[in-house]
């Protein structure tokens, strides 16, 4: 088992009220799986993704990734885990506005203290693969939405993550550009990266192998899709 959670729970105290955003979720993900999470707004999808990626800590329960219980790690170890194993893609791209395309993409490698020449070499091959060669020195504000998301994908891939977590990656894109990002995710998954994607978009979800429906912090339904449908959306 590549990733598992046991009784994973995250609650938020809001004054008198406690909101249970993620409610005793047990999840098992095999290496190389591609899973979509759907469900209404406020269901706990983002919170679940942040917990699994080590961006947030559970109130209860545990998470194991690649044989390691990440819920036991110190802050420092957790940051290292994220940097070395996990990549995030967000709806609003989350790029650094003051940095250009190349500088944004190499950031994870900079944190890893990879030498400048080496990180630019890795970045350049991704830049070519994602069709960003003409945009190297542009700032995010000078790019289209699709280009920004491709920069975010390149940055995500720069560190050769085992796990890619995407939170509504096509939410801010028109349908054609969204479809490009989706087929990119499919290709990455075919190359072995485990992907968990949160989406409202059924055609995005259809490219996954399984769709979990989340409601009120719980997984209420699992739909298996045939692998053959991957990439057709
Ligand atoms: N940092 C936070 N503080 C308080 N409540 C939060 C926080 N993050 C999420 N929530 C609450 O947890 C619930 C689940 O949120 P979220 O995971 O963002 O849902 P989704 O991504 O499915 O729309 C919501 O009720 C939301 O208001
Ligand atoms: Mg969300």
Binding site membership of 28 for ligand 1 (Cβ less than 6 Å):
no
Binding site membership of 46 for ligand 1 (Cβ less than 6 Å):
yes
What pLDDT sits at residue 112? 87
Q: What domain range includes position 37?
A: 3-229
pTM, to two decimals: 0.92
* Residues 211-231, mean pLDDT to the nearest whole number: 85
How many CB atoms lie under 10 A from the CB of residue 133?
Answer: 11
Helices and strands per DSSP (H, E), number in the chain: 7, 10
For the stretch 64-116, pLDDT in tens is 999 999 999 999 999 999 988 999 999 999 999 999 999 999 999 998 899 99
Q: Which atom of ligand 1 is nearest to the CA of 14?
A: 4
The count of structural domains within the chain is 1
For the stretch 36-72, pLDDT in tens is 999 999 999 999 999 999 999 999 999 999 999 999 9
Q: Are 43 and 214 in contact (CB under 8 A)?
A: yes
Find the CATH number of the domain harbouring 12.
Answer: 3.40.50.300
For the stretch 140-151, pLDDT in tens is 999 999 999 999
* Residues 20-28, mean pLDDT to the nearest whole number: 98
- Chain centroid offset of residue 122 CA: 20
Nearest residue (CA) to ligand 1, atom 14:
44
For the stretch 150-205, pLDDT in tens is 999 999 999 889 999 999 999 998 988 889 889 889 999 999 999 999 999 998 99
What pLDDT sits at residue 227? 60
Sheet holding 210-215, edge to edge: 86-90, 163-167, 194-198, 34-38, 210-215, 218-224
Binding site membership of 1 for ligand 1 (Cβ less than 6 Å):
no
Nearest residue (CA) to ligand 1, atom 20:
42
Binding site membership of 213 for ligand 1 (Cβ less than 6 Å):
no
* Residues 125-139, mean pLDDT to the nearest whole number: 93
What pLDDT sits at residue 129? 86
């Amino acid at each position: 088992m590549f990733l598992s959670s046991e009784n994973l729970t995250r609650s938020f105290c809001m004054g008198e009220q406690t909101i249970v955003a993620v409610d005793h979720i047990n999840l098992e993900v095999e290496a190389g799986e591609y899973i979509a999470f759907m469900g209404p707004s406020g269901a706990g999808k983002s919170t679940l993704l942040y917990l699994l990626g080590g961006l947030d800590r559970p109130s209860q329960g545990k998470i194991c990734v690649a044989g390691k219980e990440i819920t036991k790690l110190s802050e420092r170890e957790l940051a290292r885990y994220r940097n070395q194993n996990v990549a995030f893609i967000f709806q609003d791209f989350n790029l650094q506005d003051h940095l250009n395309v190349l500088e944004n993409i190499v950031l994870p490698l900079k944190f890893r203290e990879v030498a400048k020449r080496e990180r630019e070499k890795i970045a350049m091959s991704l830049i070519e693969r994602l069709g960003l060669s003409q945009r190297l020195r542009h700032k995010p504000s000078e790019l289209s939405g699709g280009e920004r998301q491709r920069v975010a994908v390149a940055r995500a891939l720069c560190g050769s993550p085992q796990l890619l977590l995407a939170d509504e990656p096509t939410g801010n894109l028109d349908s054609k550009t969204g479809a490009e990002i989706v087929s990119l995710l499919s290709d990455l998954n075919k190359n072995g990266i485990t992907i968990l994607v949160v989406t409202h978009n059924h055609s995005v979800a259809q490219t996954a192998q399984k769709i979990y429906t989340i409601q009120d912090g719980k997984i209420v339904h699992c739909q298996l899709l045939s692998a053959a449908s991957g990439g057709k959306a």
